[in-house]
Amino acid sequence: LLLLRHSLALVPPAAKPRATRLSALTDEVLDVAQWVGTNADQLPIGEYAPFAAAGAAAGAMAVSGAAVLRSFERDAPVESPLSKDGRYDPEAADAYFGRRPIQTLKRGAEIAGRAAGLGAAILLDVATDSVKENEKERATAVVDALVSLGPTFVKVGQALSIRSDLLSEAYCDALTTLQDACPPFDDAEARKVIADEVGADAFADLSSSVIASASLGQVYVGHVLRDDEKVKVAVKVQRPGVAETIALDLHLLRIGAGPLKALFQANTDLVGLVDTWGVRFVDELDYVREAGHAVDFSRAIAETPLCGAVFAPEPLEHLTSRKVLTTTWVEGQRLDYVADATAEGELRRKRRVSQLCGVAMNSYLTMMLETGILHAD
């Protein structure tokens, strides 16, 4: 009834009153949600009070999302959700998506729909005491949902895949597949990006299909001519339209952060958290910046005792742009790679992993305490 009453109140076309009523509605829904959550024992809904509170919170988030309708007050055209130099800018995103309310609400509905479906399935498992029994199935469903929602959520899944302190083994194992096995985009699109960014004839040859695919791009193997010799290279190509998708997701996360902070009375600046993460995340879209970091890292590490043991692939700057990164090819293996499944082979693998982890630890300490350049890869 509360939602209906305020929805009817939003009918008048005046822009300022609508924004005011929208804000008041969000506050009232949050007040109701908080009251339900803290007075469960006094309500006839009893044990279902937490779910009522969650429903009210979802309503508040939806109403907050509707604030994009204020966009009709904006007249100046906005060409990009990022800053002029291609970096994360919440104000630019607000102005850009504020003029695109249908796109914004559609994306919000897509995310909410996926989350609601997964949440309902997990709650049903809890109610029927079948959490362990269905855990692998739910973990697979979570991965499928993250992949379908795109790079922002794949990135979240990748970060969570190593958090065994937060998630069960089944979820960590499923999320690990997101680290280097994301679904690729069309090869023809990738070749078009390469042609537009560095030229159609930039490489002597290039693999016909991808060799690896990640959240932001995918990699091909090829060769370039250097002093009449063929040099093997890795060519990373950014997913088309990924910048706008990420900017929209971050915009929606900012919208939801305020109501969530108020609802759960969190002692954390959730909006600030989204902004801080957003800056680093969007910076990953600039492959010229990434190439520069690799050069700086290699130069700094070469002046330490780790020279010759730790290095980064050499970027080919004349074949690198914001959307295409070309580096020399490096043969390598994952730490968990098993070439010999026998007991002796497993023992050798564990020794190798222990040695390499020691090198990695020295590398991070050297970067943090000596060179001052911390390279996450």
- Active site amino acids: 377
Task: Give me 171's structure tokens.
Answer: 């979820």
Instruction: Quickly tell me which residue has 């249908």 as its tokens.
Output: 102
Instruction: Quickly tell me which residue has 């001519």 as its tokens.
Output: 225
Eight-state DSSP code of residue 184: P
Nearest to 301 by CA among 207, 365, 206: 365
Quote the CA–CA distance of 371 and 366 in Å, as a whole number: 6
Quote the CA–CA distance of 27 and 6 in Å, as a whole number: 12
Question: Which region holds residue 74: left if phi is over 0, alpha if psi is between -120 and 50, else beta?
Answer: beta
Eight-state DSSP code of residue 239: P
Q: Is 318 exposed, middle or buried (0-12, 13-18, 19+ CB in 10 A)?
A: exposed
Task: Give me 125's structure tokens.
Answer: 């498992």
Degrees, nearest 5: CA angle 144-145-146: 95
Q: Could you give phi then psi for residue 88, rounded to 5 degrees?
A: -65, 130
* Inter-residue contact 119 to 127 (CB < 8 Å): no
**Which amino acid type is present at position 9?**
A
Quote the CA–CA distance of 333 and 37 in Å, as a whole number: 50
